[in-house]
Chains A and B, each alone.
Chain A
Amino acid sequence: MKLAKYAKFRAEKFGGVLFETRSEKVFALNPTGAAIVREIGTGCEESRLIGRMQELFNDSGEAIGPEVVAFLANLRKHGLIED
């Protein structure tokens, strides 16, 4: 899993932005979304991503897993990541 060829990420004070330059669409990300995209950018495997987010956000429960999965599905739907 990696960022799509035309998806460009930039960190911002509020989190980050993903700019899909082919369609010229912009997606605003909150800090959690930005952290996920940053991890994808470093090559983090999908199977490790939930654990990594739990570490980053000190989440010992089960809450973050479904949200990460839903977020990845959203990124795929918009063509922002590719496998």
Chain B
Amino acid sequence: MASNATGGAVDSVLTSATPAATGSGDLGAPLYIAWQVTNECNLACLHCIEESGPGKAFRDELNEAQIFGFLDQVVDRQIPYLSFSGGEPTLHPLFFRMVEYVCARNTQLKIETNGHGLTREKCERLQRLGIKAVQVSLDGASRETFNRMRVRGDFDQAVNGIRNLHAAGVPIEINYSPTLFNVHEIGLAVDLAYELGAYSFYTGRTMYTGNAVKTWHRLAPAEEQYAEFFAILHAKSDEYRGRMRVHFHEMGLLEELRYRLHHPAALLIVLPNGLVKLINALPFVCGDLRRQSLTQIWSNFQTAWQDPRVARFVEDLAADPAKTSSLHQWVYL
């Protein structure tokens, strides 16, 4: 009865919004869809896990009819939360139409962007449309580190974009990827995020995949640097408690994937061409939105995690962590 009405307040969507976590049977649909709307990007970041960049749009990205057909399914299935990422999602020619479509239908939408195109007018438009949040990548507290990492990027332009969001009243999140040459700035970066008006700050270990495979020798922080990095984050989390949430994942990739094998998040990753991945850090594809409905794909997702190839890949990672370099060689389950 009602005394047990809340089956237990649970953790974040990434750790407990799963059938197992709810403990009461299967969820009928995902709770969160992370859609990489295009692989095109105006920057060519050293660490980009998607290998995005100028001229890197997939040839078979979803067309207009497929896009809005997919969004209709998101609305019909009452998916409460959707994010647009990329590539750089604001470069998609239908970007504002897609935002308008989603926001008008009561699904909460987050945009993950490099912030370079966030003019005052665009930010005001996003605010009027009722966007839930805009997450901007700000990997550094200084021009020197940011510009080194975000090839073709400009620290001042990203910061201006964030200021425009703040002026327009759009909720702001900041994302930070640590590397050998910016890891020491983490404390300053958290302070800067707060100063710019962010309500959340996200970070974790940079992954060995995508562009990072080619640049790893210039990117990978040492374990002792990570130890210091996370110690600072713990302190910053306490410092900003009640003012800005500082989220960070200390877990290494292998540990995280082993956990996910038994507790898959209620999250679908949609690629620009409509393929749906089990999770970003695995090469496995469990559906294709061009050929299957969201309902079919969700059903596949729930069984695909039990496919022995998934567990085998995760365990192979223990012996060979460099296997993450093959995440873009998709394996269809």
**Given the contacts A10-B78, A32-B1, A71 and B6 also touching, CB distance less than 8 Å:** yes
C-alpha gap A67/B3 in the complex (Å): 5
The interface residues of chain A lying within 8 Å CB-to-CB of B10 are 25-28
B108 within 8 A of A: yes
Chain A, interface SS category: mixed
A81 within 8 A of B: no
Partner pick for A10 among B9, B80, B171, B245, CB 8 A cutoff: B80
Contacting residues of chain A (32-67) with chain B, CB-CB under 8 angstroms: 32-33, 36, 53, 57, 63-64, 67
**Given the contacts A19-B17, A32-B5, A68-B2, A25 and B28 also touching, CB distance less than 8 Å:** no
Contacting residues of chain B (251-301) with chain A, CB-CB under 8 angstroms: 266
Residue of A15, A26, A28, A53 with highest tally of chain B CB at under 10 A: A26
The interface residues of chain A lying within 8 Å CB-to-CB of B108 are 6, 8, 21
Chain B, interface SS category: mixed
Are A33 and B5 interface neighbours, CB within 8 A? yes
Contacting residues of chain B (1-41) with chain A, CB-CB under 8 angstroms: 1-14, 16-17, 21-29, 31-32
Are B29 and A10 interface neighbours, CB within 8 A? yes
Are A64 and B1 interface neighbours, CB within 8 A? yes
Question: Shortest beta-carbon distance, A14 to chain B, in Å?
Answer: 3
The interface residues of chain B lying within 8 Å CB-to-CB of A36 are 2, 5
Question: Shortest beta-carbon distance, B249 to chain A, in Å?
Answer: 13
Are B29 and A28 interface neighbours, CB within 8 A? no
**Given the contacts A14-B24, A33-B5, A36-B5, A25 and B132 also touching, CB distance less than 8 Å:** no
**Given the contacts A25-B12, A28-B24, A8 and B7 also touching, CB distance less than 8 Å:** no
The interface residues of chain A lying within 8 Å CB-to-CB of B16 are 26
B81 within 8 A of A: yes
Are B1 and A8 interface neighbours, CB within 8 A? no
Q: How large is the interface on B (under 10, 10 to 19, 20 to 34, 35 or more residues)?
A: 35 or more
The interface residues of chain A lying within 8 Å CB-to-CB of B133 are 22
Are A19 and B80 interface neighbours, CB within 8 A? yes
CB-defined interface of B74-104 with A at 8 Å, one 1/0 digit per residue?
Answer: 0000101100000000000000000000000
The interface residues of chain B lying within 8 Å CB-to-CB of A14 are 22, 24-25
Q: Which residue of A lies closest to B10 (CB)?
A: A26
C-alpha gap A82/B87 in the complex (Å): 37
C-alpha gap A8/B9 in the complex (Å): 15
Q: Which residue of B lies closest to A13 (CB)?
A: B25
Q: Which residue of B lies closest to A70 (CB)?
A: B3
The interface residues of chain A lying within 8 Å CB-to-CB of B31 are 10, 17, 19, 26
A78 within 8 A of B: yes
The interface residues of chain B lying within 8 Å CB-to-CB of A71 are 2-3, 5-6
Contacting residues of chain B (129-143) with chain A, CB-CB under 8 angstroms: 132-133
Are A27 and B9 interface neighbours, CB within 8 A? yes
C-alpha gap A74/B8 in the complex (Å): 11
Question: Shortest beta-carbon distance, B170 to chain A, in Å?
Answer: 13
Question: Shortest beta-carbon distance, B14 to chain A, in Å?
Answer: 7
18 contacts across the A-B interface (CB closer than 8 A): A6-B108, A10-B78, A19-B17, A21-B80, A21-B108, A22-B199, A26-B12, A28-B6, A28-B8, A28-B10, A28-B23, A29-B7, A30-B7, A30-B24, A32-B1, A70-B2, A71-B3, A74-B6
State the 7 A-B residue pairs at the shortest beta-carbon distance, nearest first: A33-B5, A14-B24, A8-B80, A67-B2, A28-B7, A28-B22, A26-B17
